[in-house]
Amino acid sequence: MFLKKSLASDFMTRPTTGLSAAAAMVGSAVAATSATTDASLKSFIVILLEKSSGETFHRQARYRFRPQEIVSSRRCQYETFHRCNLLHRVYIQTQSLPVGVLLTVTIKDVAKAAGVAVGTVSRVLAKNKTVSEEIRTRVEEVIQQLGYTPNSLGRNLRLNRTDLIGLVIPDITNPFFAELAKHVEMMASAEGYSVLLANSHDDPAAEQQQVQTLLGRLPSGLILVPVSESRIGDLVSGTNTVTVDRPLKGQTLVGVDNRRGGYLAADYLLSLGHRRLGYMGGPQILDVARERYEGFISRIEEFQQQHPSRSFAIQTVDGNFDYRAGEELGNRLLRQQHPPTAIATASDQQAIGLMRAAADIGLSIPDDLSIVGFDDIPLASLVLPRLTTIRQPLAEIARIALDAILKRSSATECKLEPVLVERSSTRAWPA
């Protein structure tokens, strides 16, 4: 809301004997403005004097900013105001704010309004449990009323860290990593931390750039799903870093026992009577892909040793973890003369792509083909038939990783037990 020009012009035409007279006019302007202002609001006026020529001792406004409106201008003619012949422009700006809200609220203002020491306010902001519930409530109410926002810059510079946690994942479109990011963000928020999410696109160069950018923000820690150890191993050395799913030398690792997961998938399909098996692996440059494959093959080898007289066949392919790879690799496995009756995959995305390939050639799941995935992404329980899979406990993985960042755990490696989730994409195969 701005003063009417008539009011401003009236101000300019009155003789003044100094800035005190100008201040008096401000008072009358406030009174005039208040009459047109809602009772729940208050107005204040800022007057800026700007010279276009004259001596250097000319009075300047204390606060310099771009005025909202030029309401009048004229040459100074009052000797008592100053001795220079200047063209003065008077800017009048009003602003409306909620009653009780200051322009710049400081921690001292909060302390004074709450009737406590500044240190007490600091402890409330830090969620220090030594503050009584009564005082905490009073301070929080004052903070809300005044609209106080803590300026953490100075504190962060002193501590050389912020209340931020960096999270770098390979592919935000991968439901597994999206679900991981969701759990990390929710749990970090409950602890008073914000999460900065970066996507490396499974590209070592992009990953290096993202990690460098996050480290420049002085995070309290980094949670990584690394793509390449060669590029970021030295970069994160000595930092508070935890890796998830994939190892990085010298850093804490949190994930499932992938060998055990592959073992469980093979054991389950063998128990159903399948003897022509297929395995669809992930990129073999990744430890997680190799471990799942090794676990699957180890159970097959055990079975062959236990039943040497039984005929047995296994076919393996590998590629990316995504849907497209699942469909392409599925076509390779299923269009053979003697295709597998059951296939285990290294990811749920591959398994869903495999379902599409099977449907394209007229195979029914599970009547003609049983499928076992890996991860238990949300979509696994929504597709038809619902996907039997190996579950990774993502919420628990996120919690342990966050605990490691916050130094609640000193473990250098934590491998959780995978769980077989049986649904309707598998069935027993007649002998």
Q: What is the pLDDT of residue 269?
A: 98
Residue 156 lies in a domain: no
Residue 50 lies in a domain: yes
Residue 430 lies in a domain: no
The verdict on 285 and 352 lying in the same domain is yes
The CA-atom distances, in angstroms, between 10 and each of 123, 161, 349 are: 52, 55, 75
Question: What's at 372, amino acid-wise?
Answer: V
Residue 405 lies in a domain: no
Q: What is the pLDDT of residue 162?
A: 76
The verdict on 244 and 190 lying in the same domain is yes
The verdict on 264 and 392 lying in the same domain is yes
- Identify the domain boundary among 199, 221, 250: 250
Per-position b or e across 35-59, b if 16+ CB within 10 A of its CB = eeeeeeebbebbbbbbbeeeeeebe
The verdict on 181 and 237 lying in the same domain is yes
* Joined tokens for residue 362: 């007229």
Residue 119 lies in a domain: yes
Residue 330 lies in a domain: yes
Query: How far is 388 from 391, CA to CA, in rounded Å?
Result: 9
DSSP string, 155-187: HHHHHT--SEEEEEES-TTSHHHHHHHHHHHHH
Query: How far is 317 from 339, CA to CA, in rounded Å?
Result: 13
DSSP 335: T
The verdict on 74 and 170 lying in the same domain is no
The verdict on 112 and 233 lying in the same domain is no
**Rounded CA Rg of the chain:** 34
The verdict on 273 and 389 lying in the same domain is yes
* CATH number of the domain enclosing 180: 3.40.50.2300
The verdict on 285 and 348 lying in the same domain is yes
DSSP 249: T
Paired residues of 390 in beta bridges? 374, 420
The verdict on 46 and 70 lying in the same domain is yes
- Identify the domain boundary among 185, 219, 250: 250
- Identify the domain boundary among 79, 98, 117: 98
How many domains does the chain contain in total? 4
Residue 391 lies in a domain: yes
Quickly tell me which residue has 């007649």 as its tokens: 430
Q: Using alpha carbons, select from 198, 155, 150 the residue that is nearest to residue 177.
A: 198
* Phi, psi of 266, rounded to the nearest 5 degrees: -65, -45
The verdict on 335 and 415 lying in the same domain is yes
The verdict on 262 and 391 lying in the same domain is yes
Question: What's at 250, amino acid-wise?
Answer: G
Residue range of the domain that includes 84? 5-98
Residue 301 lies in a domain: yes
Query: How far is 279 from 347, CA to CA, in rounded Å?
Result: 11
Query: How far is 45 from 29, CA to CA, in rounded Å?
Result: 8
* Phi, psi of 162, rounded to the nearest 5 degrees: -130, 175
**Which 3 state secondary structure label does DSSP give 272?**
coil
The verdict on 237 and 270 lying in the same domain is no
Q: What is the pLDDT along the chain (431 residues), one digit of tens a residue?
A: 333 333 444 444 444 444 444 444 444 444 444 444 444 344 444 444 444 444 433 444 333 334 344 444 444 444 344 444 444 444 444 444 454 444 578 889 999 999 999 889 988 887 788 899 999 999 999 998 988 887 655 555 555 557 899 999 999 999 999 999 999 999 999 998 999 999 999 999 999 999 999 999 999 999 999 997 778 988 998 899 999 999 998 899 999 999 999 999 999 999 999 999 999 999 999 999 999 999 999 999 999 999 998 888 999 999 999 999 999 999 999 999 999 999 999 999 999 999 999 999 999 999 999 999 999 999 999 999 999 999 999 999 999 999 999 987 777 899 999 999 999 999 999 97
Q: What is the pLDDT of residue 410?
A: 73
Question: What's at 54, amino acid-wise?
Answer: G
